[in-house]
């Protein structure tokens, strides 16, 4: 299948590591110019450098997605250096797990803000360019946890909220040639996850719950993102694509 993403400019938030890092590589391999962005400036620059070494066009801009000023700076840099953004992937996300009765306000606010306020600020900043070009893609990285995981009321609420955000924004943007979709990953083995001391146990427990019998890799998610970013998916908007190996709630 020809995705025809040649020359598009893609911005992926939180792309200094994990799924975001693989997503920028996948989109670059499909011909996109890349804006790597992360709150961690070092990892953003390293990822952009690795992309350039692999022969791709990429810039890095450090940005905390919860800061309106930093998001404005990010989008201005992308405009100046690469000529505007065609594809936005709202990928930045964190967990701060704990049962609700013991959850601090800070744990609630930081998790929900990065997921929801981040998607709001980044989308609001890039959409005018997309609307003008009459072409754009917004892809929000939600999670299977939107069905509700114990110990993750903050994260589950944020990721479920992101699906509502996706559906509402898709309806606002369709007439401008902009599609808005979400990808909901299941358990994905990122390098960070593999380095956890209890990873073998975690892997065994998680695998038992996945119908296909194995855990996902970042490339399973970045393939879904590239598909939704392409013209092949032009009639898909407002949907959530579950990439979970067949696992849903439970
Ligand atoms: P990760 O921790 O490897 O990557 C997240 C990146 O976001 C990091 O580089 C981090 O520095 C950055 N980040 C954190 N706060 C930020 C902020 N305020 N502004 C900008 N960047 C910020 O995590 P991973 O696993 O790659 O997750 C990526 C996305 O996929 C997240 O939204 C996560 O919730 C989601 N997801 C991951 C799953 C998994 O199994 N790995 C499952 C379901 C969803």
pLDDT digit string, tens, across residues 174-215 = 999 999 999 999 999 999 889 988 999 999 999 999 999 999
In this structure, is residue 37 part of a structural domain? yes
In this structure, is residue 1 part of a structural domain? no
In this structure, is residue 77 part of a structural domain? yes
Domain count, the chain: 1
In this structure, is residue 118 part of a structural domain? yes
In this structure, is residue 3 part of a structural domain? no
- pLDDT of 72 reads 98
For residue 65, CA distances in Å to 44, 72, 110, 238 come to: 14, 10, 11, 22
Domain that holds residue 44: 9-243
Atom index in ligand 1 nearest the CA of residue 187 equals 40
In this structure, is residue 250 part of a structural domain? no
Q: What is the mean pLDDT of residues 119-143?
A: 98
User: Is the Cβ atom of 90 under 6 angstroms away from ligand 1?
Assistant: no
Q: Cβ neighbours of residue 106 under 8 Å, at least 6 residues apart?
A: none
> In this structure, are residues 150 and 224 in contact, taking their beta carbons and an 8 Å threshold?
no
Pocket test for ligand 1, best of 35, 92, 116, 147 (most atoms within 8 A of CB): 92
- pLDDT of 249 reads 86
The active-site residue, picked from 99, 155, 235, 248, is 155
Q: Tell me the CA–centroid distance for residue 91 and ligand 1, in Å.
A: 6
Is 155 catalytic? The answer is: yes
Quote the pTM value. Answer: 0.98
With b meaning 16 or more CB within 10 Å and e meaning fewer, what string describes 75-98?
Answer: bebbeeebebbbbbbbbbbeebee
Tokens of 153: 């009321």
In this structure, is residue 248 part of a structural domain? no
> In this structure, are residues 7 and 31 in contact, taking their beta carbons and an 8 Å threshold?
yes
Tokens of 180: 């808005």
Mean pLDDT of the chain: 97
215: Cα separation from own chain's centroid: 19
The CATH number of the domain holding residue 206 is 3.40.50.720
In this structure, is residue 153 part of a structural domain? yes
Q: Where are the beta strands (DSSP E) in the chain?
A: 9-13, 33-38, 58-62, 87-90, 136-141, 178-185, 240-243
Q: Does the pLDDT value for residue 250 go beyond 90?
A: no
């Amino acid at each position: 299948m020809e995705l025809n993403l040649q020359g598009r400019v893609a911005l992926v938030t939180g792309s200094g590591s994990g799924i975001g890092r693989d997503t920028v590589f996948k989109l670059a391999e499909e011909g996109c110019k890349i804006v790597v962005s992360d709150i961690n400036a070092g990892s953003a620059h390293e990822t952009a450098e690795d992309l350039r070494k692999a022969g791709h066009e990429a810039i890095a801009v450090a940005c905390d997605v919860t800061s309106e000023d930093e998001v404005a700076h990010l989008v201005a840099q992308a405009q100046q250096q690469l000529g505007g953004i065609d594809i936005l992937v709202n990928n930045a996300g964190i967990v701060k797990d704990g049962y609700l009765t013991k959850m601090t306000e800070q744990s609630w606010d930081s998790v929900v803000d990065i997921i929801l306020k981040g998607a709001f600020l980044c989308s609001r900043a890039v959409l005018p360019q997309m609307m003008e070009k009459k072409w754009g893609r917004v892809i929000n990285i939600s999670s299977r946890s939107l069905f509700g995981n114990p110990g993750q009321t903050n994260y589950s609420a944020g990721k479920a909220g992101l699906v509502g955000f996706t559906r509402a924004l898709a309806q606002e943007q369709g007439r401008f040639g902009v599609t808005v979709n979400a990808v909901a990953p299941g358990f994905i083995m990122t390098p960070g996850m593999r380095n956890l001391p209890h990873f073998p146990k975690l892997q065994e427990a998680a695998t038992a719950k996945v119908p296909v019998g194995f855990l996902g890799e970042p490339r399973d998610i970045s393939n879904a993102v590239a598909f939704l970013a392409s013209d092949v998916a032009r009639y898909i908007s407002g949907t959530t694509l579950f990439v979970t190996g067949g696992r849903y709630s439970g």
